Amino acid sequence: MNRNVDAVVIGAGQSGPSLAARLAEAGNKVVLVERRGLGGTCVNDGCIPTKTLIASARAAWVARNTARFGVDIGGDVTVDMKRVKARKDAVVQESRDGLQSWLGNTKGLEIVHGQARFESPRTIRVGDDVIQAERFFVNVGGRAFVPDIPGVKDGPYLTNSSMMDVDTLPEHLVILGGSYVGLEFAHMYRRFGSRVTVIERGPHIISREDTDVSEAIREVLELEGIDIVLNATIKAVERNNGRVTVVTADRRIEGSDLLVAVGRVPNTSDLGAEKAGIELDKRGYIRVDDELKTTVPGIWAVGDCNGRGAFTHTSWNDYEIVAANLLDGDKRRLSDRIPIYGLFVDPPLGRVGMNEAEARASGKRVLVGKRMMTRVGRARERSETHGFIKVLVDADTKLILGAAIFGIEGDEVVHSIADVMYARAPYTVISRAVHTHPTVSELVPTTLQSLSPLT
């Protein structure tokens, strides 16, 4: 069937649904194409399900550690993985149902299920449907990268997506990759009761972070019994009698299950980008400008597939930028965005702006303030004193360059710093502020009152 509409949104991740609804509400006839469940990675196998699982894992950890708070449970603490998965599935389904109800009741918006491929700059095909439009918005997301290591693809392996189907407890989960995805699964499954080994090719886990951040997180994970293997060159993966063995240059690591978490790739290989003239970079990400326009007039790329952010919140901000420029007459740019993200191990890491290496490379005179969580009242009260607060400041402008807060509630506290950065206000706005005691946030002013040159 051939038809013409005003706009097509390809992919129902974080950007797509809101953009499709805004366009429809503005009087456009809109088609939203999705080849699997509404909500993309975040709803189906990313933020929502993984953080739901992390909540169950933390409940198990708290139950096992009640004695130090003077509370006796009595008996062993066990985890029923089928019930854990059922709880996760229910939370995910609620999000899917909410999206379906909202989008399905939006006038002028049609949802089409299937794989969309460009046939020209103004035409896509979805099964037997050929749809023409003046505007296209690509929100196809990404997926786990599976490396071409001998033996990896020869037998069963898990990714962040297939982990969502697991309702049993792996006896020994071996994880390839010591970055954000791998570490979150490592921590939750260790708390569920699995033995866990993380294999990382670099000298540090989460290599993007400062060394002190990486080492502090490693210490927490190892204290809970997670084995971390660094500087590992993986030669092959072998399978025998239902077991998996990762062969490195200097050892053999045997486990029951293999999780591959070594990175992500964009879902652009089957998009037909070449037929539309859409330019991709060498990794397959769609090239975009500061307003998220592609190299083809009338086509935008939002979310993970443009390589300008790999998070739900950056995808959402992509939607806001496009909607503001197209529909609101409000000039917004990608370059206005300050990098911010979290690592949701426990305690969590909150990160915003530059790290130390980036600050040094900037050529600025940099000041640093650092306070250990052992000095935070909230952390001591809850006996969760791992980590620290660290803030970087430009000595000349007094603007905050970045921060890392690894510790209890660090993923929330970091936003107080981010907001001052967006306001382009000097660090003294926080350092002279009065915060509530006893909280984690009250130590941010104290940290900023003791700045010294970054060496």
Nearest to 26 by CA among 16, 38, 35, 18: 18
Question: Burial code of 50-67, b = ≥16 C-beta within 10 A, e = fewer?
Answer: bebbbebbeebbeeeeee
Find tokens 């020869």 and name the residue: 154
Q: Angle at Cα 30 formed by Cα 28 and Cα 34, nearest 5°? A: 160
Nearest to 388 by CA among 396, 399, 379, 397: 379
Strand, coil or helix: 158: strand
Taking CA atoms, 306 is separated from 158, 325, 353, 380, in Å, by 25, 18, 20, 42
Catalytic site residue from 113, 204, 415, 437: 437
Enumerate the β-bridge partners of residue 133. Answer: 5
Annotated catalytic, 437?
A: yes
How far apart, in Å, do the first and last CA atoms of the chain sit? Answer: 66
Question: Hey, what are 115's tokens?
Answer: 């794989």
Enumerate the β-bridge partners of residue 335. Answer: none
Strands (E) located in 77-171: 109-113, 116-120, 123-126, 129-138, 142-144
Report how far residue 31's alpha carbon sits from residue 113's, in angstroms, rounded to the nearest whole number.
Answer: 10
Report how far residue 266's alpha carbon sits from residue 284's, in angstroms, rounded to the nearest whole number.
Answer: 6
Question: Burial code of 203-216, b = ≥16 C-beta within 10 A, e = fewer?
Answer: ebbbeebbeebbeb
Helix residue spans in 121-265 (DSSP H): 180-192, 211-223
Report how far residue 176's alpha carbon sits from residue 157's, in angstroms, rounded to the nearest whole number.
Answer: 11
**β-strands 234-240, 366-372 pairing:** unpaired
Report how far residue 411's alpha carbon sits from residue 342's, in angstroms, rounded to the nearest whole number.
Answer: 6
Active-site positions? 437
